[in-house]
Structure 1
């Protein structure tokens, strides 16, 4: 795991998950390790139940965190459940470990920080109020109203609220810096009009893949007759066409585990995993089908594109691969446009592919 001052929510949640395992081990030591357990003499009756529940919950969430991304629809539910679990486990532990004067009370600060990270000031206030209520209930139930216990109780609550207030201020500032970093990243690597990666990022990714001698596919594409479209319908219509193509290509890149780029002007590129030619044909089936179904602008409803596709073969230099794929694209343009040229010599025509697919289904 990469440590950074600007971790995303998934990386942050993983840290809290690791911390739970640390406290899990600490709990076992203070309750069952004789040199500690005999001296501390904590109440053990319900601890095995808490230990079992904690182990099952942490094992399940640890597995889920490994498999899901921060953008997963269930991620927010996982983080909320984690904070609730931490709160319940802490109250349970405090009740078992001398109540108000428990040496485990500092865990409460982590609960406040956890809630503050995800919900900022609202999280800090809600978690501080919840911990105050829970801690006060333990104080009342244990009925230890002597001076020392009362003093520790009041002092802990004061520090709890200080952590909540200042923690929320720190988190808000950290999130502001993170957002600024994200904006800077978008400006550096994203094309503002289409939302695709830009030419600079394309060159960097192409260099990384070729220098690593990885097998991948390069697709270069060009909008047919784009100058005439701009001349006839205006540059606003041209911009609208570029935006819609950008959206189509983003969706396609996600489905095929690829990266999509605006190379420049009306030129686009894809970096695809090394897939068989039948899968490459399916890629262009999906691509051309989406282009055919799209209504691009009020004046210019349909747009066609031409493509070239070539394999890196794990050894091609960036310039050589780019030049070869460009030649395939130019060949597609010179031979009638609205087609894709493969390095194998195969030429993909959408209208012909539709007829072939229809015939195969009969």
Structure 2
């Protein structure tokens, strides 16, 4: 839970996971509240309606969690389910309030969380619109169920409307300001740590992560890779096409190495680095061969015709002891791969003999 809270400060995805967990919690609380009120309300239609609402909620939240955990963050279904969450919350809130006491429902505070959730995506204006819709919806429910005649209940009703407005107004400002500040900070950090062309991490990030890997991780792997004959690509097809090659290779590395198992870097020029946080030579070899083969099979189209490129790799395991010369050692392995004919992977003490394919 602590890790989730920390990530929620840095990631919209983690924040959605947190909101999803709260939905399940409030669904359970709703069931408890409704069950305690059964003695006062034995209307069969109300019970059936509540069960139907719970069943729908379980199905919706199950589907939402599936998209949250199984679908890429940039996919359409992921965006629909996450950004559409507040709409489901709004309808569910009104139904639950109507079924658990109307203006006296103990579930009313859920409305505050809905406003805060809306702030994540639609900022201050979204918060105010959401607050307005909640005020209207809540008022309609109270009027349909019978406006309270007791003065204390009337004061409680109007107070809740005021609270909704204040949460939308002040909460919208505070949350929006913090989200904007965070996004600006993240953008600056991204600019400082990422290579603008390939989208991979840059050389500075590589040096920082390598130091952490040597100090904190056991049996990781360091890889240096270089595009074979890249100068010929620039000379024959121009630097714009050369940049496209670099971007494509960066994308291949990013897509092939799972985030939890490693990171890719643009080391400099046409040279790349990869840190694999795995204690498995076979898995390391699997990732590198996958990258190598994907690059080989990628065809670039130009006005002068089509072409493909290959890469050479050097790889060494990072031991637990601090090795200040590890980059130099891996660079020698990469040089050895070049000397052996390029388009191959050379490990420390082990040469994977592969015929270069051009």
TM-score (norm 2): 0.77
* C-alpha distance in 1 between matches for 2:343 and 2:54: 63
* C-alpha distance in 2 between matches for 1:81 and 1:199: 39
Q: Structure 1 residue 330: deviation in Å?
A: 1.6
Residue 295 of structure 2 is matched in structure 1 by 287
Does structure 2 conserve the Cα–Cα contact (< 8 Å) formed by 1:242 and 1:266? no
How do 1:117-266 and structure 2 match up within 5 A? 117-144=120-147, 146=149, 148=151, 149-224=153-228, 237-238=238-239, 241-242=242-243, 244-257=245-258, 258-266=262-270
Residue 2 of structure 1 is matched in structure 2 by 4
Higher Cα Rg, which structure: 1
Q: Which moved more, 1:299-308 or 1:196-205?
A: 299-308
Structure 1 pair 341/163, CA: closer, same or farther in 2 (3 Å)? Answer: closer
Q: Which runs of 5+ in 1 are unaligned?
A: 353-362
Does structure 2 conserve the Cα–Cα contact (< 8 Å) formed by 1:310 and 1:321? no
- The DSSP-based 3-state class of the residue aligned with 1:185 is helix
Q: Deviations over 1:240-294 (max 9, x none)?
A: 624531332222331243532111233222234545357644432222333xx22
* C-alpha distance in 1 between matches for 2:172 and 2:26: 24
What is the aligned length?
341
Structure 1 pair 43/79, CA: closer, same or farther in 2 (3 Å)? Answer: farther
* C-alpha distance in 1 between matches for 2:200 and 2:286: 26
Does structure 1 conserve the Cα–Cα contact (< 8 Å) formed by 2:206 and 2:267? yes
Q: Structure 1 residue 315: deviation in Å?
A: 5.0
Could you tell me which of 29, 33, 54 is aligned with 1:30?
A: 33
How do 1:316-327 and structure 2 match up within 5 A? 317-327=322-332
Does structure 1 conserve the Cα–Cα contact (< 8 Å) formed by 2:198 and 2:251? no
Q: Deviations over 1:89-137 (max 9, x none)?
A: 2212222333224343222222222222222244324423332332122
- The DSSP-based 3-state class of the residue aligned with 1:74 is helix
* C-alpha distance in 1 between matches for 2:116 and 2:286: 52
Q: Does 1:76 align with 2:76?
A: no
Q: Structure 1 residue 184: deviation in Å?
A: 2.4
Q: Deviations over 1:53-95 (max 9, x none)?
A: 4445445544553444544432222224432332222212222
Does structure 2 conserve the Cα–Cα contact (< 8 Å) formed by 1:233 and 1:300? no
Q: Structure 1 residue 151: deviation in Å?
A: 4.1
Structure 1 pair 87/125, CA: closer, same or farther in 2 (3 Å)? Answer: same
* C-alpha distance in 1 between matches for 2:27 and 2:229: 66
Q: Which moved more, 1:251-260 or 1:313-322?
A: 313-322
Structure 1 pair 43/26, CA: closer, same or farther in 2 (3 Å)? Answer: farther
Structure 1 pair 6/150, CA: closer, same or farther in 2 (3 Å)? Answer: same
Q: Does 1:308 align with 2:313?
A: yes
Does structure 2 conserve the Cα–Cα contact (< 8 Å) formed by 1:221 and 1:307? yes
TM-score (norm 1): 0.77
Does structure 2 conserve the Cα–Cα contact (< 8 Å) formed by 1:42 and 1:97? no
